[in-house]
C-alpha cells in the first residue's frame, strides 16, 4: 500500500541508468475533483517539501508544511530523508555535489570524444524558451512541442556540465497546469545551487510565467512588456438550461457528492459541493503563489497581495518596486551576457539550444550509472480499455497496451525498480481497475513509485494506489474518488422534430440505455447498484 506523498524527485539523483517505456499520451484539463479514499486503501501519510533559492529546506514552503520538515533527517549520501512509520524515503530535495578530481577528469575525457550532436562550445549559455503547452512525454528532435522531462533533465545536466556557463530562460504565456509550472520552478531554484547564473526574460507575463520568472537570479522585460497579474480565478460552465430548451434531458447517476463530472450537463448553476471544492483549490494555489513569491523576492506576503490588488502593470513601476531586475530588450540582455562572459563584441554569444542540448546524454556527464536500470513508464491522458476506431495514436492511456508494458517490465530482470509517471484525469472504471491490478502485481516483485504530474484524478489516482509510494507536486490535482455514469433522454427532442423510433425488446432491463426512454425507478435502483459495486473497488 502507498506509504507517503512527496514532491516529485529527480530520478537522475539516484545515479541509476533509466529506461523509458512510452505509451501513448495526450493532455487533459479536467475540473479538480476530490472525495474520500476507496475502502480498499487505508489512509497514508502525507509529506510536502520544497526548496528555496538559498537552499534552505523550510524557507520556500507553505506554512502548513513547515512543521513536517522537522521529521526530515539526512541519509548516508548527505541528502535529507523523511520518516514514515519505520521506513525512510528521500525528501526529493536536490542535493548538488561538486565532482571530485577523478570524476571531473573522466567527464572531461568523455567530452573530448563525444559524437557531433553532443558537442557544445565551452562557456556556452543554454537557451530555453518556455511557451504554450508542455507535454509530459519525451519528444523527438523533430517535434516542436516542449517536453517537461527534457526541460527538467536539461537543467540538471547544465548544472554539472563544465561547458555550460549559465541559462537564458525565455518565458512566454504557458498553457500547462500548475503541477508542471511548480516542477519547472523548482528546477530553476535547484540549478542556482550550482553557482551558475540563470537569467529570465519575459515579454508577456501572467501568474504562471511570473511564478517561474521570479525564481531566476535576474528577470528582464522590454519596455512594452505586457504583465497581466490580475490574480487567480476558476470558472465552471453549465449546459443544463441549453439542453432543456432543445429537448435533451441528461440522466446522470453518481456515487460521491464531490464527483462533479456530470454537473456540466445536468445543472444550471454550481452545486455547493463543487463550489466548496473549487474554492479550496483556488485558495491553495493562491496562497502558495503569494507565499513563494514573497520568499523569493524577499518581500512581505501582504506587499505581494497588495501588488496584485493594486493592478500595477507599468513596467517602470515593476522595476522601481523590485518586481523585475531591469527593463531591457532581448538583444540588450544578450549584449549584457556577452560582456559578463568576456565575449568579444564582434563575436556572437556562444549558445546551445534546448533541443540540441536534449541530445546530450546524462551518462556522458556522469549523471547516470551503467549497471542497474529503472524503468520509467509514462501514462498521460484519459483512460480507456481498448483503442477506438477514430482515436489517435497519442489520445489516451489504452489499458491493453499499457498492461503489456507493465508485464514486460515485470518479467524482465534488468529493471530493478519502476517509476510510473501519471498525468491523467481518469476514465473508464474497468480499465483503471485492470491497470491497478497489474501495477499491484508489479509492486510485489519490484519497488514501484507513482509520480504525479499536473493531474492524477479519479482513475489516474486509482492507478497510483497500486504503487508502494507516491510522489507529487504541491500543486498536483489529485483525488476524485467516485463513479459516474449516464445517458441522454431524447424523447422531447424527437417529438419536436417529428422523429419516431419503435423498440421491440425482451428482458426486464433491455431498454435501460435507450435514448428515448426515461428509466423507471427499478432501472434507477439497478444502475445505482452497479455504481456502488464499482465504487467499492
Interval 381-401 mean pLDDT: 76
How much is the pLDDT for 257? 79
| Sign of the CA dihedral with 32 first, then 33, 38, and 44 last | positive
**Regarding predicted confidence, which is higher, 260 or 227?**
227
339-347 contacts at long range (C-beta below 8 A, 24 or more positions apart) = 340/197, 341/123, 341/125, 341/165
The Cα–Cα gap between 24 and 26 comes to 7
* pLDDT tops 60 at residue 50: no
CB atoms within 10 A of CB 367: 20
* CA 168 to chain centroid: 23
Residue partners of 500: CB distance under 8 A and separation at least 6: 494
The Cα–Cα gap between 365 and 162 comes to 9
Q: How confident is the model at residue 115 (pLDDT cuts 50, 70, 90)?
A: confident
The Cα–Cα gap between 82 and 231 comes to 34
Q: Tell me the pairing of strands 483-489 and 249-255.
A: antiparallel
Q: What are phi and psi of 210, to 5 degrees?
A: -70, -30
How much is the pLDDT for 145? 79
SS3 376: strand
pLDDT > 90 fraction of the chain, expressed in percent and rounded: 37
Q: Annotated catalytic, 458?
A: yes
Q: Strand order in 87-90's β-sheet?
A: 72-74, 80-84, 87-90
Q: How confident is the model at residue 534 (pLDDT cuts 50, 70, 90)?
A: low
User: Among 60-64, 83-87, 257-261, 489-493, which stretch is predicted with the lowest mean pLDDT?
Assistant: 60-64
Domains of the chain with bracketed CATH: 121-230+311-359 (3.90.226.10), 248-269+484-535 (3.40.1750.10)
Q: How confident is the model at residue 508 (pLDDT cuts 50, 70, 90)?
A: confident
Residue the block writes with cell 446522470: 252
String of b and e for 120-150 (b: at least 16 CB within 10 Å)?
beeebbbbbebeeebbbbbbeeeeeebbbbb
Structure confidence by residue, pLDDT tens digits, 272-307? 888 998 999 999 999 999 999 999 999 999 999 998
How much is the pLDDT for 389? 62
Of 458, 480, 492, 505, which residue is the catalytic one? 458
Structure confidence by residue, pLDDT tens digits, 434-478? 999 999 999 999 999 999 999 998 889 999 999 989 988 888 988
Residue partners of 76: CB distance under 8 A and separation at least 6: none
Structure confidence by residue, pLDDT tens digits, 141-162? 667 778 898 999 999 999 999 9
Question: Which span out of 90-99, 267-276, 481-490 was modeled with the highest average pLDDT?
Answer: 267-276
How much is the pLDDT for 334? 95
Vertex 365: Cα angle to 360 and 366 (nearest 5): 135
DSSP string, 155-219: HHHHHH-TTEEEEEEEEEEE-S-HHHHHHHHHHHHHHHTTT-EEEEE-SEE-HHHHHHHTTSSEE
How much is the pLDDT for 373? 85
How much is the pLDDT for 58? 32
Interval 416-426 mean pLDDT: 92
* pLDDT tops 60 at residue 12: no
Interval 323-330 mean pLDDT: 95
CB atoms within 10 A of CB 508: 10
Question: Which span out of 198-207, 339-348, 421-430 was modeled with the highest average pLDDT?
Answer: 198-207
Amino acid at each position: 500500500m502507498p506509504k507517503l506523498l512527496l514532491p516529485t524527485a529527480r530520478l537522475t539523483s539516484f545515479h541509476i541508468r533509466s529506461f523509458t517505456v512510452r505509451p501513448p499520451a495526450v493532455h487533459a484539463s479536467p475540473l479538480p475533483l476530490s472525495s474520500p479514499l476507496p475502502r480498499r486503501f487505508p489512509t497514508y501519510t502525507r509529506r510536502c517539501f520544497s526548496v528555496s533559492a538559498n537552499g534552505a529546506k523550510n524557507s520556500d514552503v507553505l506554512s502548513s508544511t513547515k512543521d513536517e520538515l522537522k521529521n526530515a533527517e539526512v541519509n548516508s549520501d548527505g541528502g535529507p530523508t523523511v520518516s514514515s512509520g519505520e521506513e525512510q524515503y528521500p525528501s526529493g530535495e536536490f542535493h548538488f555535489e561538486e565532482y571530485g578530481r577523478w570524476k571531473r577528469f573522466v567527464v572531461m575525457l568523455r567530452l573530448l570524444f563525444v559524437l557531433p550532436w553532443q558537442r557544445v562550445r565551452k562557456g556556452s549559455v543554454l537557451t530555453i524558451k518556455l511557451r504554450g503547452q508542455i507535454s509530459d512525454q519525451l519528444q523527438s528532435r523533430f517535434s516542436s512541442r516542449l517536453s517537461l522531462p527534457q526541460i527538467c533533465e536539461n537543467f540538471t545536466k547544465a548544472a554539472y556540465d563544465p561547458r555550460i556557463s549559465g541559462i537564458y530562460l525565455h518565458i512566454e504565456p504557458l498553457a500547462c497546469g500548475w503541477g508542471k509550472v511548480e516542477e519547472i520552478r523548482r528546477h530553476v531554484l535547484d540549478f542556482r545551487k550550482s553557482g551558475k547564473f540563470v537569467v529570465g526574460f519575459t515579454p508577456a507575463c501572467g501568474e504562471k510565467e511570473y511564478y517561474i520568472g521570479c525564481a531566476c537570479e535576474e528577470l528582464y522585460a522590454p519596455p512594452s512588456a505586457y504583465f497581466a497579474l490580475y490574480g487567480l480565478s476558476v470558472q465552471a460552465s453549465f449546459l443544463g438550461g441549453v439542453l432543456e430548451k432543445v429537448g435533451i434531458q441528461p440522466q446522470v447517476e453518481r456515487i460521491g457528492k464531490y464527483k462533479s463530472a456530470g454537473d456540466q450537463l445536468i445543472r444550471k448553476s454550481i452545486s455547493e459541493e463543487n463550489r466548496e471544492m473549487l474554492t479550496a483549490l483556488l485558495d491553495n494555489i493562491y496562497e502558495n503563489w503569494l507565499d513563494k513569491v514573497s520568499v523569493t523576492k524577499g518581500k512581505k506576503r501582504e506587499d505581494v497581495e497588495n501588488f496584485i490588488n493594486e493592478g500595477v502593470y507599468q513596467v517602470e513601476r515593476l522595476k522601481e518596486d523590485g518586481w523585475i531586475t531591469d527593463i531591457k530588450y532581448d538583444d540588450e540582455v544578450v549584449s549584457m551576457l556577452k560582456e559578463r562572459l568576456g565575449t568579444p563584441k564582434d563575436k556572437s554569444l556562444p549558445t546551445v539550444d534546448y533541443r540540441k542540448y536534449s541530445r546530450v546524454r546524462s551518462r556522458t556527464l556522469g549523471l547516470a550509472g551503467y549497471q542497474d536500470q529503472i524503468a520509467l513508464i509514462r501514462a498521460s491522458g484519459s483512460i480507456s480499455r481498448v483503442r477506438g476506431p477514430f482515436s489517435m495514436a497519442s489520445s489516451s492511456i489504452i489499458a491493453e497496451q499499457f498492461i503489456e508494458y507493465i508485464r514486460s517490465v515485470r518479467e524482465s530482470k534488468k529493471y530493478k525498480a519502476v517509476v510510473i509517471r501519471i498525468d491523467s484525469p481518469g476514465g473508464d472504471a474497468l480499465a483503471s481497475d485492470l491497470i491497478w491490478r497489474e501495477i499491484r502485481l508489479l509492486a510485489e516483485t519490484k519497488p514501484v513509485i507513482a509520480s504525479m504530474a499536473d493531474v492524477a484524478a479519479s482513475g489516474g489516482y486509482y492507478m497510483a494506489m497500486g504503487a508502494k509510494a507516491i510522489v507529487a507536486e504541491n500543486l498536483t490535482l489529485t483525488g476524485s474518488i467516485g463513479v459516474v455514469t449516464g445517458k441522454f433522454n431524447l424523447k422531447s427532442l424527437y417529438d419536436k422534430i417529428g422523429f419516431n423510433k419503435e423498440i421491440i425488446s425482451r428482458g426486464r432491463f433491455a431498454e435501460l440505455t435507450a435514448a428515448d426512454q426515461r428509466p423507471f425507478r427499478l432501472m434507477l435502483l439497478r444502475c445505482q447498484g452497479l455504481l456502488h459495486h464499482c465504487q467499492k473497488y
